[in-house]
Chains A and B, each alone.
Chain A
């Protein structure tokens, strides 16, 4: 990081700017780039912690019989792996990218509310300290799954309130972060940067931010009810008192489903930036993309109970949620088709960002298809809570969200540092990741269909073979990820200098700024000509 800050300040022409140096620069930060960097570093650390937990899971599941982990500890690994990855890795990574890119892309000097921005970030390290601390309290970490269903969750020991307060803090952090994004986009766009000229990363993030503001408070409400049920004798989730354990699931998934789109919409944005760049051709159907994103976001509010097909909902409810869920395939399809059409009759080259984007294109689609199968209620009776579901969501989350994050970093890293990274090494990172992510997760489809439940530390012997394959793929994929921080670090240290435009076909305001960009991106708003040139459609 120290080196990154050197890089970020190198070309600092910002006259009336005396920014603090040393630790103050980061702890008191109000600069969108510094805060973005902190978000990204934090996300990276969480990814490795969550990944290490996943490695323990895969290790125990390498062969049948209990080898290493106590069942309770295994469950807490599953739970914390998910919390680390979703709230600690992917969400902060997206917020970090939003911090870095949105002001540059809309022609703003910084985020709209810089102090709030710093607050949003610095809540996170404390939140995760609280979460990870649960591993050291009597009873161990939370072991009810990241979905925290009562009554099981209510059996939690000392970890229970810690987990809930950690989640409260993560919630506050992402709500404030989202507010900042919305205000920046709505209020700080340069004159001439009309809504329909905004890059798609900005669009998808705007819609993501609305989702965040709408559903994070609902999660806060849900876990608060857990808290009072546990400590103050309320009976929200206890039948004897007139409550219903399933009620929690409804409230949780009302948050939970939009949440999964919160994880993927910015990915759609990134891919919509990268594919046109390396196809040297404007994005096909820009407006359709915007409307598709909006309708996905809208639909995401009315599909939540597709996670609850086995709880005994009335038939009408099951039918409604099955159909509404299937509908989401349509706007998502529109996106996939538009990306394909963008490459069609283009002039493609395959630098690392493009490779990751293509991998996303194929593998996310596979994950989407399995999602569609899960939406079919009678079939879901067989899939639900099996490894088929685990395979589904890892396809959309790992080669989906995570690959898109890597694509984004490989795309914009040269802009941030002014240096080109080692592309050969990055291509190795790509190929190994793409191969092993399939070795890791594809067999899990078989396991699930053959009847292996999820969230189990041990399994019947007929599941051995594919679990071994999956575990080996997991270890290989994990080790491959070690390349990533190395490549980034090397690039921050130095490399071939690049001009404003790191990639031949790159469009957008960020490429009009020097690399690395000045401390405050657009102290004077860009001219309309620049904006025209940027908006490549």
Chain B
């Protein structure tokens, strides 16, 4: 019985030990938290693994004592109960103090990491994120650029009840949007997050950022993508927000600084043309 119960735990331990690559494609190897592409997300990952190994260690100790008792002190093996063994203040004290020590030891790194995540000073780019049922609006403060970001058409068509589409053929099914949030790498980006209707939550695992979008209030969050890791990073709305909560993904397009600047320029021109000659189609600024 022991083995049966411990088996899954041990597999997890074993598998996590060979820390599965964050963006592994095969489902079976998706077992652990991604390390992510920001200093913060890596710290969080470290904290997560610290807790994981600590718990595994304690579990191994506690479970092996249990297992030992279960196997050794069986009536069938003629074990006679030691009914005099009813309490012992010393052991009670020991197994109160040891856990306290362990917890203090973990609380320290946890607290320091937490304080870092809450440090929003000197950010270099600020984006206002407004969630609505069911999509996102991104507004680059004092650059006049803003646009909506929703589930891409392919996924949206495929996810309809009985659409008959084989969703495995859809690239990044449910994790793709029409207009991703574009940010520069190696830059401290601050998000000012709010919502129009109900509570949503902006979450990109690779950044270790999750903040609720609360109507009537503005929450702050920040991330700083490694300069050497441009790319597309995907996440979901992480707070139940009604019918299509499962269908409001987030995609962040992290680009080298100069690419980002040129993109921003282009967007500005497109959304606020110098003359009245506004281009008919403004894909990036597609209305909701």
A→B interface (CB under 8 Å) = 64-66, 69-72, 75, 143-145, 149, 151-152, 155, 238-240, 244-246, 279-288, 310-312, 315, 318-319, 322-323, 326-327, 329-330, 333-334, 336-337, 340-341, 343-349, 355, 358-359, 361-363, 365-366, 369-370, 372-373, 376-379, 381-382, 384-386, 431, 434-435, 438, 442, 445-447, 449-451, 453, 455-466, 537
Instruction: Compute how far the CA of A386 lies from the CA of B47 in the bound complex, rounded to whole angstroms.
Output: 18
Stretch at the interface among B66-74, B136-144, B178-186, B268-276: B66-74
Closest to A451 in B: B205
Closest to A462 in B: B27
Instruction: Compute how far the CA of A341 lies from the CA of B86 in the bound complex, rounded to whole angstroms.
Output: 9
Pick from B5, B79, B83: contact of A434, CB under 8 Å: B5
- Interface status of B287 (Cβ within 8 A of chain A): no
Pick from B66, B110, B172, B174: contact of A361, CB under 8 Å: B66
- The residues of A that contact B100 with a CB separation of less than 8 Å are 330
- Interface status of B241 (Cβ within 8 A of chain A): yes
**Contact of B106 with A376 in the complex, beta carbons under 8 Å:** yes
Within 8 A of A (CB), among B17-43: 25-28, 30-34, 43
**Contact of A152 with B30 in the complex, beta carbons under 8 Å:** no
Given contacts A151-B199, A343-B69, contact A239 B114 (CB under 8 A): no
- Interface status of B121 (Cβ within 8 A of chain A): no
Closest to B249 in A: A460
- Interface status of B123 (Cβ within 8 A of chain A): no
- The residues of B that contact A450 with a CB separation of less than 8 Å are 30-34
Shortest Cβ distance from B29 into chain A, in angstroms?
Answer: 9
Instruction: Compute how far the CA of A56 lies from the CA of B271 in the bound complex, rounded to whole angstroms.
Output: 47
**Contact of A282 with B240 in the complex, beta carbons under 8 Å:** no
**Contact of B160 with A358 in the complex, beta carbons under 8 Å:** no
Closest to A78 in B: B240
- The residues of A that contact B261 with a CB separation of less than 8 Å are none
Shortest Cβ distance from A92 into chain B, in angstroms?
Answer: 26
Shortest Cβ distance from A473 into chain B, in angstroms?
Answer: 11
With contacts A376-B47, A384-B210 known, what are 12 further pairs, Cβ within 8 A? A64-B168, A152-B198, A245-B217, A310-B238, A337-B62, A343-B73, A365-B62, A382-B48, A385-B240, A434-B1, A442-B12, A460-B175
Pick from A312, A341, A376, A446: contact of B51, CB under 8 Å: A376
- Interface status of B211 (Cβ within 8 A of chain A): yes
Shortest Cβ distance from B155 into chain A, in angstroms?
Answer: 9
Pick from B27, B210, B246: contact of A71, CB under 8 Å: B246
Given contacts A322-B110, A378-B47, contact A460 B55 (CB under 8 A): no
- Interface status of B197 (Cβ within 8 A of chain A): yes
**Contact of B33 with A346 in the complex, beta carbons under 8 Å:** no
**Contact of A70 with B69 in the complex, beta carbons under 8 Å:** no
**Contact of A343 with B70 in the complex, beta carbons under 8 Å:** yes
**Contact of B81 with A330 in the complex, beta carbons under 8 Å:** no
Given contacts A346-B69, A373-B55, A455-B240, contact A382 B210 (CB under 8 A): yes
Can you report 18 residue pairs joining A to B where beta carbons are below 8 Å apart? A64-B168, A151-B215, A152-B198, A245-B217, A285-B88, A286-B86, A288-B87, A315-B115, A322-B107, A346-B82, A362-B63, A381-B117, A447-B30, A450-B32, A453-B246, A456-B236, A459-B246, A460-B172
Stretch at the interface among B90-98, B224-232, B252-260, B278-286: B90-98
Shortest Cβ distance from B150 into chain A, in angstroms?
Answer: 16
Instruction: Compute how far the CA of A361 lies from the CA of B48 in the bound complex, rounded to whole angstroms.
Output: 24
Shortest Cβ distance from B189 into chain A, in angstroms?
Answer: 16
Shortest Cβ distance from A174 into chain B, in angstroms?
Answer: 25
Pick from A341, A348, A382, A446: contact of B79, CB under 8 Å: A348
- The residues of A that contact B173 with a CB separation of less than 8 Å are 64, 460-461
- Interface status of B152 (Cβ within 8 A of chain A): no
Given contacts A286-B87, A348-B70, contact A144 B62 (CB under 8 A): no
- Interface status of B264 (Cβ within 8 A of chain A): no
Closest to B167 in A: A65
**Contact of B86 with A337 in the complex, beta carbons under 8 Å:** no
- Interface status of B161 (Cβ within 8 A of chain A): yes
Given contacts A286-B86, A333-B95, A462-B27, contact A381 B65 (CB under 8 A): no
Shortest Cβ distance from B213 into chain A, in angstroms?
Answer: 10
- The residues of A that contact B44 with a CB separation of less than 8 Å are 378-379, 381-382
**Contact of A287 with B167 in the complex, beta carbons under 8 Å:** no
Pick from B8, B51, B69, B199: contact of A438, CB under 8 Å: B8
Instruction: Compute how far the CA of A315 lies from the CA of B220 in the bound complex, rounded to whole angstroms.
Output: 12
Instruction: Compute how far the CA of A450 lies from the CA of B25 in the bound complex, rounded to whole angstroms.
Output: 11
Contact bitstring B158-176, A, C-beta under 8 A = 1, else 0 = 1111110111100011110
Pick from B34, B48, B114, B198: contact of A322, CB under 8 Å: B114
Closest to A371 in B: B55
**Contact of B79 with A346 in the complex, beta carbons under 8 Å:** yes
Instruction: Compute how far the CA of A337 lies from the CA of B58 in the bound complex, rounded to whole angstroms.
Output: 12
- The residues of B that contact A284 with a CB separation of less than 8 Å are 85-87
**Contact of A246 with B27 in the complex, beta carbons under 8 Å:** no
Instruction: Compute how far the CA of A382 lies from the CA of B214 in the bound complex, rounded to whole angstroms.
Output: 19
Instruction: Compute how far the CA of A70 lies from the CA of B246 in the bound complex, rounded to whole angstroms.
Output: 12
- The residues of A that contact B172 with a CB separation of less than 8 Å are 460
- The residues of B that contact A285 with a CB separation of less than 8 Å are 86-88, 92
**Contact of B242 with A152 in the complex, beta carbons under 8 Å:** yes
**Contact of A456 with B208 in the complex, beta carbons under 8 Å:** no
**Contact of B103 with A310 in the complex, beta carbons under 8 Å:** no
- The residues of A that contact B43 with a CB separation of less than 8 Å are 378
- Interface status of B266 (Cβ within 8 A of chain A): no
- The residues of A that contact B59 with a CB separation of less than 8 Å are 365-366, 369
- The residues of A that contact B197 with a CB separation of less than 8 Å are 151
Given contacts A343-B70, A378-B44, A382-B208, contact A458 B111 (CB under 8 A): no
Given contacts A348-B69, A382-B48, A537-B86, contact A434 B240 (CB under 8 A): no
**Contact of A359 with B85 in the complex, beta carbons under 8 Å:** no
Q: Choose among B43, B76, B96 the residue with the greatest number of A CB atoms under 10 Å from its CB.
A: B96
**Contact of B69 with A378 in the complex, beta carbons under 8 Å:** no
- The residues of B that contact A326 with a CB separation of less than 8 Å are 103, 106-107
Shortest Cβ distance from B80 into chain A, in angstroms?
Answer: 6
Shortest Cβ distance from A456 into chain B, in angstroms?
Answer: 3
Instruction: Compute how far the CA of A453 lies from the CA of B162 in the bound complex, rounded to whole angstroms.
Output: 23
- The residues of A that contact B214 with a CB separation of less than 8 Å are 245-246, 311-312
Q: Choose among B31, B59, B75, B113 the residue with the greatest number of A CB atoms under 10 Å from its CB.
A: B75
Instruction: Compute how far the CA of A537 lies from the CA of B95 in the bound complex, rounded to whole angstroms.
Output: 21
Instruction: Compute how far the CA of A287 lies from the CA of B87 in the bound complex, rounded to whole angstroms.
Output: 9
- The residues of B that contact A445 with a CB separation of less than 8 Å are 12
**Contact of B174 with A376 in the complex, beta carbons under 8 Å:** no
- The residues of A that contact B165 with a CB separation of less than 8 Å are 65
**Contact of B73 with A346 in the complex, beta carbons under 8 Å:** yes
Instruction: Compute how far the CA of A451 lies from the CA of B96 in the bound complex, rounded to whole angstroms.
Output: 35
Instruction: Compute how far the CA of A429 lies from the CA of B26 in the bound complex, rounded to whole angstroms.
Output: 34
- The residues of B that contact A465 with a CB separation of less than 8 Å are 26-28
- The residues of A that contact B130 with a CB separation of less than 8 Å are none
Shortest Cβ distance from A274 into chain B, in angstroms?
Answer: 14
Given contacts A65-B167, A462-B27, contact A311 B212 (CB under 8 A): yes
Q: Choose among A310, A358, A384, A442 the residue with the greatest number of B CB atoms under 10 Å from its CB.
A: A310
Instruction: Compute how far the CA of A151 lies from the CA of B114 in the bound complex, rounded to whole angstroms.
Output: 28
**Contact of B245 with A343 in the complex, beta carbons under 8 Å:** no
